[in-house]
């Protein structure tokens, strides 16, 4: 007589039990953490006292503060689109297209926003241009009567965000310019075009889809701006900080929900426009013998001088805050308070006190654990999901599962955060009678959720690049599906997986937007701490701590970028199993693809 277990084994049920349990877990995850919180945001707005209500709309319409914030957000979005694209296009052209002396040097400065970003960047600008800022004090020497609080409000937000958001240009527009076919430029010149005409008729039209996407991305960043308005906005309030403010008052939570819906709708519309734009294809060269762009010498002498002067002025705008942050992090309190750079004030005390004091390194550790843990889990989880999605590609359920994991792309992170607060503010059976309020898990969980779409997209991309014959070869040589997955597939995915862990970690290390909603008071994140320390009322000690935090975060980011994009990335490439023709996919771009809005913009810290 066969035992019951043997009978189960015979029917293959027992062998497939872990798979079915995992499917059950996926179903719970999608419903409880991706769908239900967002549905609850809608319920919170439209369902009052057991009936459908539009009262939230009326309250919002009658709230001057809310209307002003919406208008401010749109104003910022529109103007940011213009300024970012002008500056972004200029810095790419002078480093990649025109012959400008010291272009390599300039490029380093313009790319500094890759690591000098988010809260660190905002804090840096505040330290340099704020009330007691280094540059403000310098200006005071020249204009003694000037208002020391000059760097605040809409112009300050626009200024900070303009230089922060050009990272996308340095990634995508730069790649576009580098991908131009030099023959088309030469052909235009040969036909009598001037330099300006070549730009107007050949270069810009070729790069039009990228430009349009960058315009949309800038608009999105402006609309959802949070860190910059909070840090330097003063009375200039935008939607995201207002959502945070309304969320903290239970009586205004429906308004917060409605504002997040407005943000969500705007985001979906922009995503649709962007996707349509992507589907139109690209106009890059169709040449089979493409030649690399050779740098164009600016023929007009005056124009050449103006371009050089502007380039170096911008270089200083980009790098001065960063350099000063690094330098002042090595000054003692006197140097910091008097904004005086001197060898006399040089000290390593700031670093020593942070690295030796639990209160000081605590937030750094919290952020590292939260973002690191979430990054690893997101990648492991999405490797499994992508495996199922790829294996059952023709299955509608698998297709919809994939779509549902893209929800965090469609809606702002703030809406998810708010949804979780609304849904699980009290113990809920969906969370096995747990509540998110007061939980240390909620923030890393939201990080993880926000990391999922881009991670899934890139892991799926890696699967596509993976030579399926490898799996077949392993199976036909006698390997079981599990062994094949562990021995053949995982090692092939490893370079992409590690790169994604590094990038996800980087993107959320200095997060402020989500932390502001969900952080545990006992375990503040680095973003929250920098924000609190940046308050003008705080002491010099706090400023010193912020400077050191900034340098440490920049150092960590630089190491991560080196690992992912620098020499470190080459280690796994050779052994990745990625088809030769597809090797270029090995490391994901930072803001994940032109359609991706799920990851914080590395430069601004804003969640696009």
Tell me the longest C-alpha to C-alpha distance in the chain: 98
431 binds other proteins (CB under 8 A): no
**Which listed residue (492, 516, 547, 553) binds other proteins by CB under 8 A?**
492
**Which of positions 92-121 make contact with other proteins (CB under 8 A)?**
none
- Residue 48 host element (H or E): strand 47-48
Q: What are residue 259's phi and psi, to 5 degrees?
A: -65, -40
**Which of positions 274-313 make contact with other proteins (CB under 8 A)?**
none
CA-wise closest residue to 456 among 26, 165, 31? 26
DSSP 51: E
Tell me how far, at minimum, the Cβ of 480 lies from other proteins, in Å: 6
467 binds other proteins (CB under 8 A): yes
Tokens of 537: 């009322």
If the CB atoms of residues 89 and 484 are measured against other proteins, the closer one turns out to be 484
If the CB atoms of residues 471 and 513 are measured against other proteins, the closer one turns out to be 471
395 binds other proteins (CB under 8 A): no
**Which of positions 551-590 make contact with other proteins (CB under 8 A)?**
574-577, 579
3-state helix/strand/coil string of 56-99: HHHHHHHCHHHHHHHHHHHHHHHHHHHHHHHHHHHHHHHHHHEC
If the CB atoms of residues 42 and 470 are measured against other proteins, the closer one turns out to be 470
**Which listed residue (148, 282, 469, 539) binds other proteins by CB under 8 A?**
469
Tokens of 188: 């235009």
Tell me how far, at minimum, the Cβ of 289 lies from other proteins, in Å: 21
If the CB atoms of residues 211 and 489 are measured against other proteins, the closer one turns out to be 489
If the CB atoms of residues 298 and 488 are measured against other proteins, the closer one turns out to be 488
Q: Are 412 and 482 in contact (CB under 8 A)?
A: no
Only one of the segments 246-254, 349-357, 433-441, 478-486 lies at the binding site for other proteins (rule: CB under 8 A); that segment is 478-486
CA-wise closest residue to 585 among 488, 489, 463? 463
13 binds other proteins (CB under 8 A): no
If the CB atoms of residues 344 and 472 are measured against other proteins, the closer one turns out to be 472
Instruction: Give the count of residues interacting with other proteins (CB under 8 A).
Output: 21
- What is the C-alpha to C-alpha distance for residues 56 and 46, in angstroms, rounded to an integer? 8
If the CB atoms of residues 425 and 491 are measured against other proteins, the closer one turns out to be 491
**Which listed residue (281, 438, 478, 521) binds other proteins by CB under 8 A?**
478
**Which listed residue (55, 472, 535, 538) binds other proteins by CB under 8 A?**
472
Those residues whose C-beta lies under 8 Å from the C-beta of residue 309, and which sit 6 or more positions away, are none
Q: Are 227 and 606 in contact (CB under 8 A)?
A: yes
27-37: string of b/e by CB count within 10 Å (b at 16+)? Answer: eebbebbbebb
Those residues whose C-beta lies under 8 Å from the C-beta of residue 476, and which sit 6 or more positions away, are none
Collapsing DSSP to helix, strand or coil, 477 comes out as coil
Only one of the segments 42-50, 164-172, 255-263, 474-482 lies at the binding site for other proteins (rule: CB under 8 A); that segment is 474-482
Residues that bind other proteins (CB under 8 A): 467, 469-470, 472-480, 483, 488, 491-492, 574-577, 579
């Amino acid at each position: 007589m066969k035992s019951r277990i043997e009978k189960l084994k015979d029917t293959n049920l027992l062998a497939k039990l872990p798979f079915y349990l995992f499917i059950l877990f996926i179903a719970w995850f999608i419903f409880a953490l991706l769908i239900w919180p967002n549905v609850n945001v809608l319920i919170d707005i439209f369902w009052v006292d057991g009936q459908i209500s539009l009262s939230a709309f009326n309250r919002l319409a009658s709230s001057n503060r809310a209307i002003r914030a919406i208008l401010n957000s749109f104003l910022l979005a529109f103007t940011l689109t213009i300024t970012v694209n002008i500056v972004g296009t200029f810095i790419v052209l002078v480093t990649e297209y025109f012959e400008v002396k010291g272009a390599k040097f300039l490029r380093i400065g313009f790319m500094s926003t890759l690591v000098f970003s988010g809260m660190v960047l905002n804090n840096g600008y505040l330290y340099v241009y704020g009330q007691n800022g280094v540059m403000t004090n310098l200006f005071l020497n020249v204009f003694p009567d000037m208002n020391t609080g000059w760097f605040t409000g809409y112009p300050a937000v626009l200024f900070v965000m303009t230089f922060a958001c050009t990272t996308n240009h340095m990634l995508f527009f730069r790649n576009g310019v580098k991908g131009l076919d030099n023959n088309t430029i030469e052909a235009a010149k040969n036909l009598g075009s001037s330099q300006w005409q070549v730009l107007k008729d050949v270069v810009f039209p070729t790069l039009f889809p990228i430009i349009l996407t960058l315009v949309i991305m800038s608009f999105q960043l402006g609309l959802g701006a949070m860190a910059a308005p909070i840090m330097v906005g003063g009375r200039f309030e935008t939607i995201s900080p207002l959502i945070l403010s309304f969320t903290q008052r239970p009586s205004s939570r429906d308004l917060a929900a409605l504002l997040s819906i407005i943000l969500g709708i705007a985001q979906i519309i922009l995503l649709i426009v962007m996707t349509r734009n992507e589907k139109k294809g690209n106009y890059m060269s169709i040449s089979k013998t493409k030649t690399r762009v050779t740098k164009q010498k600016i023929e007009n002498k005056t124009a050449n001088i103006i371009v050089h002067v502007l380039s170096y002025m911008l270089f200083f705008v980009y790098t001065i805050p960063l350099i000063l942050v690094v330098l002042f992090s090595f000054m003692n309190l006197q140097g910091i308070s008097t904004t005086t750079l001197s060898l006399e004030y040089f000290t390593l005390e700031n670093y020593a006190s942070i690295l030796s004091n639990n209160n000081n390194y605590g937030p750094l550790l919290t952020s590292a654990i939260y973002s690191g843990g979430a990054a690893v889990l997101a990648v492991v989880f999405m490797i499994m999901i992508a495996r199922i999605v790829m294996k059952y590609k023709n299955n509608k359920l698998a297709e919809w599962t994939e779509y549902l994991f893209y929800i965090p792309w469609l809606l702002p992170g703030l809406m998810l955060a708010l949804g979780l607060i609304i849904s699980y503010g009290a113990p809920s059976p969906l969370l096995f009678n747990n509540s998110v309020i007061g939980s240390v898990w909620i923030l890393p969980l939201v990080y993880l959720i926000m990391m999922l779409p881009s991670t899934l997209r890139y892991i799926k991309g890696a699967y596509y690049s993976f030579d399926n014959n490898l799996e077949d070869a392993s199976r036909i040589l006698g390997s079981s599906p599990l062994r094949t997955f562990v021995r053949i597939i995982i090692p092939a995915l490893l370079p992409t997986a590690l790169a994604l862990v590094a990038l996800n970690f980087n993107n959320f290390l200095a997060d402020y937007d989500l932390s502001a909603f969900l952080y545990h008071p006992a375990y503040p994140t680095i973003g929250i701490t920098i924000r609190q320390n940046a308050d003008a009322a705080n002491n010099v000690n706090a400023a010193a701590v912020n400077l050191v935090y900034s340098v440490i975060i920049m150092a960590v980011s630089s190491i991560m970028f080196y690992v992912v994009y620098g020499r470190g990335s080459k280690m796994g490439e050779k052994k990745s199993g990625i088809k030769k023709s597809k090797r270029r996919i090995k490391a994901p771009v930072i803001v994940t693809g032109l359609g991706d809005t799920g990851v914080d913009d590395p430069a601004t810290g804003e969640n696009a």
